[in-house]
Amino acid sequence: NVWADTLCLLPHCIDNHLSFSDGVVVVWSETSNKGQKGPQMKDFVYTNTYKDVFFHQLEPISGAAPLMNETRKRNAGIEVARQHGFTHFIIADGDEFYIQKEVEWEKKRFEAKDLNGLVCGLKVYLTPTLRTDDHTLVPFIHKLTPKIKCGEFRHYPFAYDDKKQAHID
């Protein structure tokens, strides 16, 4: 998922994700959840020769809650992945990167235990060398089943704290 504030990172994000996956679905919009206009995708030039990058535009519903619009974008990406025959997916924003070796290790663990999905913690980089852990979990590898969709926190009971607040993106 990408919007104007992370467009400059998109080529790096695509390359990062293609290092451990068979394809990338980029869901983008020209308007933010707050109605701001940003750079258009035509301004984005991706020169990589990979054929397995699929672009899908989905504009937010004006006046809708940002969470609803972000959930719509994620579900649109899942649907595009289904249309292209993928069996698994990772949802990430344009500023989220993974370490290839760690993803490959998690993929083996995922398959060995026959899991439906994984989440992972994240680190927030304040500068290229200064980082901190975050309490939020992000969706990670999931099986692409016919009915799976984003927005169902009940499948992640461990993502709730003792005050019943969800800490999953």
Mean pLDDT computed over 103-118: 88
Kindly provide the b/e burial profile for residues 86-125, where b requires at least 16 CB atoms within 10 angstroms of the residue's own CB: beebbbbbbebebeeeebeebbeebeeeeeebbbeeeeee
Residue among 26, 31, 33 nearest 2 (CA) = 26
Q: What is residue 48's predicted lDDT score, i.e. its pLDDT? A: 58
DSSP-derived pairing of the beta strands 88-90 and 131-143: antiparallel
The whole-angstrom separation of Cα 45 and Cα 43 is 6
Residue type, 132: T
pLDDT, one tens digit per residue, over 132-156 is 888 777 888 999 999 888 876 666 6
Q: Is the pLDDT of residue 169 over 70?
A: no
Q: What confidence score (pLDDT) does residue 130 get?
A: 86
- 59-104 residue pLDDT tens: 999 999 988 998 999 999 999 999 999 999 998 888 889 999 999 9
Among the ranges given (9-13, 15-19, 37-41), the one the predictor scored with the smallest mean pLDDT: 37-41
What is the arithmetic mean of pLDDT over 7-11? Answer: 83
pLDDT of residue 69: 92
pLDDT over 90 percentage in the chain: 34
Q: Compute the distance between CA of residue 91 and CA of residue 15 in angstroms, rounded to an integer.
A: 15
Output the six-digit token pair for 79.
């649907």
- Between 3 and 56, where is the model more confident? 56
> With bands split at pLDDT 50, 70 and 90, how would you rate the model's confidence at 114?
confident
Give the C-alpha separation, 29 to 33, whole Å: 9
Q: What is the pLDDT of residue 134?
A: 81
pLDDT at residue 158 greater than cutoff 90: no
**What is the predicted pLDDT for the residue at 45?**
60
Q: Which of 60, 47, 41, 52 is nearest to 18 (CA)?
A: 52
